Structure 1
Amino acid sequence: MELFQILQKKSKYFYALLLLLGLINSVWASSLLILINHKINGEPLPFFNDYDWVAYVVLIVAAFSMARFFQGYMITLTYDLGNELNLSIFNRLRFTNFEDYQELGEERVRTAMSDVTTLQRFPQAFIESFNAAVMVLIGISYLLYINSAGALAIMAVLAVLIVFYNLRSKAIQRDLNAARDLATVYQRNVNDFLRGFKEVKMSTDRSDVLYHDYLTHNRNKVKTLTVRTLVRHMMNELLGAYSWYLGIGLVLFLLPVLLHTDARVSSSFVITLLYLMGPTNVVISEMHEFFQMRIALERLQEFNEVIDGYAAVRTGHGTLPAPGQAQEFESLRFENVTFEYYDDKRDQTFRLLPLNLEIKRGESIFVTGGNGSGKSTFINLLTGLYLPLSGNIYLNGHRIDANQYPHYRNQICAIFTDCHLFGENYNRLDLTTGNHRLVALLKKMQLTEVVPLSATETKLKVNLSKGQQKRLALINALLEDRDILVLDEWAAEQDPMFRAFFYTKIIPELRLAGKTVIAVTHDDAYFDCARRVLKFDYGRIAADTRMEPLAGVTEVAEAY
């Protein structure tokens, strides 16, 4: 099991310590049982008859010391496991293909994190169950030693209980699986509610349906399943606890009649059964958690299969050039590149027909076309988020294979339609007042008044209007200083004056600075600001129009 492999990885002495714990518990449980029974029955202890109280104290102190050690060890191991599993989710995700992530969905990621929280208690629960199981085994062995026939009768009762538990556990596991599926759906509904909050506020019908028919309905179903599961588990615990009283009844009333056992044997049996009640209840109570852990582990394995997590981590960032050996961008060529995907909304398969295209350094290219024409698919292929179904992409004349895509993406800076501004400075850029280029860019993007800088702060304000967020995203992109800049509907949220400034000033200046700009746009009034205009239609390039150079921009702005 992967969990045991992780535990051994986190602690190479895990199995050795587990064996040691079993041996210590065996000595502790058997010694305590022998000491108590001999003392109650008035029988002398071998070797320790005059010092039985000393033996008892030594046992208690030794047991406490070992329990303290193992409890501390398991606390550390438990949180190591949780940390390892939690980080492994994001480590696998960051190396996985964008297509696999889209198939997975954000809600599956969130429920996977919940599964990690469930699995985090595995070391503690396992050790507690292991400890209790050893004590039960010692207790049964001691009963066999005292009176084998009576012990077999007790074991028969336990066997019936085990069969009963297994039958009931199937129903419990079925309900837990159903509740876990509902958790994924619930996360999807929560995402819709939070991200579409404005749209929810704009329709009372939508608000009522989302709340009553989805959120409330989902939670009520989960509540029903959870209550039913807990009641079944509670019944298991009660039956487990009271079965021992049944065993005590057999010892007190039936065994003396059938087996003619004396008071000494009956007393030893009763004491041992009372002693076994605690460990047995621990095993039964942990069964519910193990059912949940089993489901969580299965779902995490499914999660890894969807994103091919293990292979993704092995591939990592692929083949990256050594520092200082990366070539400057000169050209990018698509050769018979195709792609297809199933469109759920339209219930049809979209196909990008064989695409042949060359982009050279310093070009400014506008991409246009109607909805469903193939623009977004082209942008995802261009940025390396999608891998071609067939055909090849060449960077500076070299074919890009699967291992080289991380390096290829490192040549491109993209601002997507739904771009996200990070709250932290993950690129470790200089965002202080000492960065004169940043100061100039903020001035050019008319953000000086709304994005304050300081001499020490390492991150920028991101709580801006959508248009201002796009401008700040462009500043971040320019500070990254990559050769290719992809802008997807960048000007859509800009006011008319800044939109004109973007097309007539910024785009030409970027081209003169040596940047290669590919911009998706519907602003046909500014098509003359580009060197080329690509028009997509029905999954193909319907037109590739060369434009006349725009006059008026002759020098590169200092900010670039």
Structure 2
Amino acid sequence: MSLFELFSRQAPNKVFLSILLGIVSGIAYALLIPLVTSAIGGPPDMLEELHSSTRTLLGLEVRQFKFAQLFLFLCLFIMCTKGLSQVMLAHVSLDLTTSIRSSFYQRITDTSVDALEKVGMSRVNTAITTDIARIVDGVRVIPELLVASVTILGLLGFLAYLNASFLKFIIEAMVFGVVVYQSLMRISRRHFEHSRKKMDELQESIRGLIFGAKDLKLNARKSRVFHDDLLLVNEDAVRRSDKKAASVIRLATSFGDMISFLVIGSVTFVLANYVKATREQLVGTVMVLLYLAGPLGVVMNAISMITVSRVSLRKFNAVFDALPPEDINHAVTEPAPWNDISFNRVAYRHQAADASEGFQIGPVDFTIPKASITFIVGGNGSGKSTLAKLLTLHQLPDTGDIRFGGVRIDKSNIKSYRQAISAIYSDYFLFDRLLIEQHEERRQEIGRYLDELKLASKVSIMDGRFSTTKLSDGQKRRLALLVAFLDDKDIYLFDEWAADQDPAFKDVFYRSVLPDLKARGKTVIVISHDDRYFNVADQILVMESGTLTTCAVPAQRRA
């Protein structure tokens, strides 16, 4: 979709009306030239009566009063029509900005976790912070481009009235100027595209700088290599590409600014010797060319901004298309009652970026009874996290089936069954507020949980918002646990939740929190390496290299 299509689809009636007003203001703007030239050089017969009077206004003598009235009227008319046109188009462009962002937010919400992880945070972040801003910058100059273009057409029309030979030469010069300008713009566009590609890599480096800060602090050599050979290299690549593109654009803009004066010089000193023209025609042509400099400058500047905007639009569309909505039924209904979760020959393979075969888990078979505690254990890369995403229905299996009771989970019901699940992953995100309804009973419940989780002296909640999230890792996890409690779901998954807890609270989690959830009829799934607490589990699933090697009951339970 082009920038103009984006623009016109946002509010077609407003865009049509504003363009119409812009055209009218452009025509009126073009009429100022013949009006001024007629006043200076002597009127045509039909304007004779406009020259016949001189009047005093506010103590000032105004020659050719009716002529001056017409000139003032045109100026006011241009100011109103052009101003109204640009205000309307500016409002449309701002609405379009919000519309683009909102549609992208919704796209991220509707896409699958797999697609989002494949695209990566850096590309998504650059699309939001850089590409959308550049797209909007390009859209915002469209109103000025339209008005300037109409003005140029009107002035060229007056040139045709003055002298057709002059018009032909000027059009040829403009075509030559546009060809040269566009050639330079194509060169700059290639540099901007390279810069935009490097910007993704720079964003990833910045992400590493922030989230890897603790590691870099512990290794001066690694920090220096990262800073000099990665971060600054990407920064320098963006700078060099942007400088090249900016240099070409500035040269193109300077060329565009000077082309009008070069044409004026050519008409005055060269063409006038070969074309029969009166002094009035020559003066009128020069005035038109002087007036053309302004609208032409607007057009040249707009083209340069649109060039950058088009690059960002292509990149944005590429990211947008890489985040397709999940092909599922988005309607949420009450799931049927169930007594267990069963995995029957379930297998799932990750899609590698280079189209090669990615990591696979399965086929796996097991059953998790309702109101039970299940531990998932295994080494790094064993498939625990992928299995967890299948359990929380973030992914559907490639083969086999997942059943809640007798109901097979598929695209028609997966969203409904997701609503029964609460999960705290190892890479969880803690929102700064409770995204649930607030009432007095809920507030009392929150206060009780804050006390139980030893957070009452650290955090308070006002109007559903946490007073702070600047807490230790262990305290953040406890706050995330509070949010999970308030969700009151049927299934809870904890991915290494206790890893950042002190020994005392780790014991509380395993010996008190988990059994309490089970007693309340909740199904609890825990990814853990804490073997001293394995006896808390009703069963243990052992993963190794994507395969479920053991589905066992702890020895203490058997005893």
- Flag whether TM exceeds 0.5 (same fold): yes
List per-residue Cα deviations over 1:223-263 (Å, max 9, x = no partner). 22222222221221222222222211222222332123221
C-alpha distance in 2 between matches for 1:237 and 1:3: 21
Q: CA deviation at 1:348?
A: 7.2
Of 94, 115, 138, the match for 1:79: 94
List per-residue Cα deviations over 1:120-174 (Å, max 9, x = no partner). 2334301111111111112222222222122111211112112212222221100
Please say if residues 21 and 82 of structure 2, whose CA atoms lie closer than 8 Å, have aligned partners that are also in contact. Answer: no
C-alpha distance in 2 between matches for 1:39 and 1:133: 26
Please say if residues 95 and 317 of structure 1, whose CA atoms lie closer than 8 Å, have aligned partners that are also in contact. Answer: no
Please say if residues 363 and 516 of structure 1, whose CA atoms lie closer than 8 Å, have aligned partners that are also in contact. Answer: yes
Identity of aligned residues (%): 26
After superposition, the CA RMSD in angstroms is 2.4
Matched, 1:383 2:384: no
Please tell me the residue identity of whatever aligns with 2:525. Answer: I
Matches within 5 A, 1:458-477: 458-459=465-466, 461-477=468-484
Query: SS of the residue aligned with 2:395?
Result: coil
Please say if residues 22 and 81 of structure 2, whose CA atoms lie closer than 8 Å, have aligned partners that are also in contact. Answer: no
Please tell me the residue identity of whatever aligns with 1:535. Answer: V
C-alpha distance in 2 between matches for 1:436 and 1:31: 74
1:15/1:419 CA distance change after superposition, 3 Å: closer
Q: CA deviation at 1:536?
A: 0.9
Give the equivalent residue in structure 1 for 2:196.
Answer: 180
C-alpha distance in 2 between matches for 1:457 and 1:384: 28
Q: CA deviation at 1:5?
A: 4.7
Query: SS of the residue aligned with 1:385?
Result: coil
Please say if residues 149 and 299 of structure 2, whose CA atoms lie closer than 8 Å, have aligned partners that are also in contact. Answer: yes
Of 358, 364, 369, the match for 1:355: 364
1:249/1:446 CA distance change after superposition, 3 Å: closer
Q: CA deviation at 1:329?
A: 4.4
Give the equivalent residue in structure 2 for 1:320.
Answer: 332
Please say if residues 433 and 439 of structure 1, whose CA atoms lie closer than 8 Å, have aligned partners that are also in contact. Answer: no
1:378/1:357 CA distance change after superposition, 3 Å: same
C-alpha distance in 1 between matches for 2:260 and 2:125: 42
Of 99, 109, 118, the match for 2:114: 99
Of 394, 402, 416, the match for 1:407: 416
Of 173, 178, 181, the match for 1:165: 181
Query: SS of the residue aligned with 2:141?
Result: helix
Give the equivalent residue in structure 1 for 2:35.
Answer: 35
Give the equivalent residue in structure 2 for 1:59.
Answer: 74
Of 451, 458, 464, the match for 1:443: 451
Please tell me the residue identity of whatever aligns with 1:538. Answer: S
Please say if residues 97 and 132 of structure 2, whose CA atoms lie closer than 8 Å, have aligned partners that are also in contact. Answer: yes
List per-residue Cα deviations over 1:515-547 (Å, max 9, x = no partner). 100101112222111111111112121111124
Q: CA deviation at 1:70?
A: 2.1
C-alpha distance in 2 between matches for 1:122 and 1:57: 33
1:444/1:363 CA distance change after superposition, 3 Å: same
Give the equivalent residue in structure 2 for 1:558.
Answer: none
Please tell me the residue identity of whatever aligns with 1:459. Answer: F
Q: CA deviation at 1:6?
A: 4.4
Give the equivalent residue in structure 1 for 2:61.
Answer: none
Please say if residues 45 and 52 of structure 1, whose CA atoms lie closer than 8 Å, have aligned partners that are also in contact. Answer: no
Query: Can you give the 5+ residue segments of structure 2 that lack an aligned partner in the other structure?
Result: 52-65
List per-residue Cα deviations over 1:380-421 (Å, max 9, x = no partner). 111122221222222232222224322222111001112222
Question: Greater shift after overlay, 386-395 or 2-11?
Answer: 2-11
C-alpha distance in 1 between matches for 2:358 and 2:124: 26
1:45/1:460 CA distance change after superposition, 3 Å: farther
C-alpha distance in 2 between matches for 1:205 and 1:390: 47
1:462/1:145 CA distance change after superposition, 3 Å: same
C-alpha distance in 2 between matches for 1:373 and 1:222: 39
C-alpha distance in 1 between matches for 2:33 and 2:457: 79
Matched, 1:255 2:263: no
Question: Greater shift after overlay, 504-513 or 109-118?
Answer: 504-513
C-alpha distance in 1 between matches for 2:107 and 2:353: 26
Give the equivalent residue in structure 1 for 2:57.
Answer: none
- Equivalenced residue count is 541
1:219/1:537 CA distance change after superposition, 3 Å: closer
1:463/1:377 CA distance change after superposition, 3 Å: same
1:46/1:550 CA distance change after superposition, 3 Å: farther
TM-score (norm 2): 0.91
Please say if residues 74 and 123 of structure 1, whose CA atoms lie closer than 8 Å, have aligned partners that are also in contact. Answer: no
Give the equivalent residue in structure 2 for 1:286.
Answer: 302
Give the equivalent residue in structure 2 for 1:500.
Answer: 507
Matches within 5 A, 1:78-227: 78-113=93-128, 114-227=130-243
